[in-house]
Amino acid sequence: MAYGVLLSLSSFGLFLMNEDVTKGLSSLLTVLLIVVPLVSILFTTIYIFNSYEFIELLVAQPLKRSIILFGLYAGVGISLLAVFWIGIGLPAIIFDGTVVSWYFLLSGSLLTVVFVSLAFLASVVTRDKTRGIGISILLWFYFSLIFDGILLMVMFAFSDYPLEKLTILISCLNPIDLARIMVLLKMDISALMGYTGAVFNQFFGSSIGIIVSVLAMLTWVIIPIGIALRVFKEKNL
Amino acid sequence: MIQIERLYKKYGKVKALKGINLTFNLDQVVALVGPNASGKTTLIKCLLGMVIPDEGRILFDGKDIKGDVQYKKRIGYMPQIGRYPDNMLMGYLFGMMKDLGKIRLKDNFDEELIVAFHLEEMFGKPMRVLSGGTRQKVSAALAFMFNPDVIILDEPTAGLDPLASEILKQKIHKEREAGKLLIVTSHIMSEVEEIADSIAYIVEGEALFYKSIAEIKSESGEERLGKALFHLLQQ
């Protein structure tokens, strides 16, 4: 609930403050890239740990563990997505309504499910709530800040070599980067695209670039939840 | 009905179960008794497939339970501490469990305990406002609801008021009469004496002995079960 209010306040605020809708959208993008992953991963982790005993009860019922896990995933994912759509989606469509806002929503939704996936991974690898939340925050911190730092350092150190293809590969390793690129490819604000975005654009052109980034994001959904499922199946509750 | 064969389980370096062997049959109330941290709860969790043993196997009706979930249709389980989603209304919880229970039986759920504990009056309350004892009542009612052949109760009367624990004991007797298998853990010897007919004494992950209560009493020559056990363990 609070998350929904925060999102809708920030989006209405940003749209009303900026006369230019594109500007509003790009400010909102910053919020999107920082707040959505953080809230998704933290909310999910806390939710899973708080319903630990209930999960135990469900495991004692004649239900497959995979069904329990996917049921939880669907529950958390759908509620977070709904909040995101109401909080950011509605304002974005009301104020902007162009194709850009739809991409905006697509990338935000993908970002939500990716970080829900990562949260599941973080919460099945440990039994300790504090440690689980710690892992979640670290993951978020890594993807939103540290990763870019490392990337820049690598770029700087190897600036004499042609690194374009490698950069594409590397940016696929960060879902937040992918989400940013996905929106910016449609928005045509190359100044904000950053190095990876520019390379993406150059290399793929915008439509194929978007397809590639969507696929990469989906991989980011599937792999963590897949690993989480394998761990969960063998887990002692 | 249930055969436990050479079950081993380690948590890190701590050995919770060390090759335990036990057999439980229908028409029996078995009390799992033993010191704290002796492996009782781990054993129960292995039975329910919540903990996966390192070695050994558990047969349910002659079938290995590993990787199977169907056998759980015939088990009712009441955990030591029942915790439920905070915002869920009690009535909704029962409704949801009934929906889940439809894979077990069509309807005629056993709602005797819901009635006996007067839980319907609280159906509109969310689970977080309930006291520990009331949650225990909910757990108990859920364990019996699907009319299972095997009922596992982990410290059932801990936290229940005297009236409620009496109701639960009567329910246990009734199910025993109906020829079911009940597995109960408890630290209260008078209670064990009242409800169970045999005791599996578990120490450090092994079954020290597994005897009927009458046997234990006659062997030690004591009238009270607590004393009789004490005698037996002194030897």
* Structure-block tokens of residue B161: 């008021």
Question: Could you say which of A51, A61, A237 has the minimum Cβ distance to residue B72?
Answer: A61
Q: B48-85 in b/e burial notation, b at 16+ Cβ within 10 A?
A: bbbbebeebebebeeeebeeebebbebbbbbbbebbbb
Q: Does residue B107 surpass a pLDDT of 80?
A: no
* Structure-block tokens of residue A222: 């599937």
Alpha carbon distance B179, B208 (integer Å): 27
pLDDT value at residue B170: 92
Chain B contact set for A51 (CB, 8 A): 85
Beta partners for residue B199, in sequence order: B31, B211
pLDDT value at residue A218: 92
Q: Does residue B103 surpass a pLDDT of 60?
A: yes
Nearest residue to B34 (alpha-carbon basis) of B154, B133, B137: B154
Beta partners for residue B200, in sequence order: B32, B210
Q: Letter for the amino acid at A223?
A: I
* Least confident among A32-46, A84-98, B73-87, B167-181: A84-98
Which of the residue ranges A99-103, A163-167, B100-104, B147-151 has the most confident prediction, judged by mean pLDDT? B147-151
pLDDT value at residue B231: 81
Question: Could you say which of B51, B70, B75 has the minimum Cβ distance to residue A236?
Answer: B51
Q: How many residues does chain A have?
A: 237
pLDDT value at residue A113: 93
Determine the residue of chain B that is closest to A51 in CA distance: B85
Chain B closest-CA separation from residue A209 CA (Å): 42
Nearest residue to B85 (alpha-carbon basis) of A32, A224, A15, A57: A57
pLDDT value at residue A4: 62
Half-sphere exposure of B13 (CA within 13 A, CB side): 0
Determine the residue of chain A that is closest to B11 in CA distance: A236
Chain A closest-CA separation from residue B21 CA (Å): 21
Domains and CATH numbers, chain B: 2-234 (3.40.50.300)
Q: Does residue B224 surpass a pLDDT of 70?
A: yes
Q: What ipTM was predicted for this assembly? A: 0.78
Question: Could you say which of B50, B81, B100 has the minimum Cβ distance to residue A59?
Answer: B50
Q: Does residue B141 surpass a pLDDT of 60?
A: yes
Alpha carbon distance B73, A45 (integer Å): 30
Q: List phi, psi (to 5°) of A106.
A: -60, -50
Of B57 and A7, the one with more pLDDT: B57
Alpha carbon distance A148, A154 (integer Å): 10
- Confidence at B117, pLDDT banded by 50, 70, 90: very high
Question: Could you say which of A54, A64, A234 has the minimum Cβ distance to residue B84?
Answer: A54
DSSP code of residue B55:
E
Alpha carbon distance A151, A58 (integer Å): 43
CB neighbourhood size of B169 (10 A): 16
What value does the mean pLDDT take over residues B20-41?
Answer: 89
Q: A59 and B11 in contact by Cβ < 8 A?
A: no
Handedness of CA B167, A59, A52, A86 (dihedral sign): negative
pLDDT value at residue A2: 61
* Structure-block tokens of residue A79: 């509620």
Question: Could you say which of A54, A59, A234 has the minimum Cβ distance to residue B83?
Answer: A54
Q: A53 and B11 in contact by Cβ < 8 A?
A: no
What value does the mean pLDDT take over residues B7-16?
Answer: 87
Q: A236 and B11 in contact by Cβ < 8 A?
A: yes
**Helix (H/G/I), strand (E/B), else coil: A86:** helix
What value does the mean pLDDT take over residues B80-86?
Answer: 81
Chain A contact set for B70 (CB, 8 A): 62
Chain A closest-CA separation from residue B53 CA (Å): 9
Chain B contact set for A64 (CB, 8 A): 69
The CA radius of gyration of chain B, in Å to the nearest whole number, is 18
pLDDT value at residue B1: 84
Query: Sheet containing B28-33: which strands, arranged edge to edge?
Result: B75-78, B150-154, B181-185, B28-33, B198-203, B206-212
pLDDT value at residue B211: 86
Query: Sheet containing B55-60: which strands, arranged edge to edge?
Result: B14-24, B2-11, B55-60, B63-64
DSSP code of residue B157:
T
Chain A closest-CA separation from residue B147 CA (Å): 13
The chain-wide mean pLDDT, for chain B, equals 87
Alpha carbon distance B39, B200 (integer Å): 12
Nearest residue to B186 (alpha-carbon basis) of B160, B149, B147: B160
Nearest residue to A40 (alpha-carbon basis) of A224, A183, A215, A169: A224
Residues lower than pLDDT 70 in chain A = 1-22, 188-197, 200-206
Q: List phi, psi (to 5°) of B151.
A: -125, 125
Chain A closest-CA separation from residue B199 CA (Å): 24
Beta partners for residue B64, in sequence order: B59
The secondary structure element, H or E, covering residue B213 is helix B213-220
Q: B82 and A234 in contact by Cβ < 8 A?
A: no
Interface of A with B (CB under 8 A): 50-54, 56-57, 59-64, 234, 236-237
Burial of B13 (0-12, 13-18, 19+ CB in 10 A): exposed
DSSP code of residue B146:
T
Alpha carbon distance A219, B142 (integer Å): 40
Q: A236 and B49 in contact by Cβ < 8 A?
A: no
- Confidence at B30, pLDDT banded by 50, 70, 90: very high
* Structure-block tokens of residue A55: 């999960």
Q: Does residue B69 surpass a pLDDT of 90?
A: no
Residues 6+ away with beta carbon under 8 Å from A228: A69, A117, A120, A121, A124
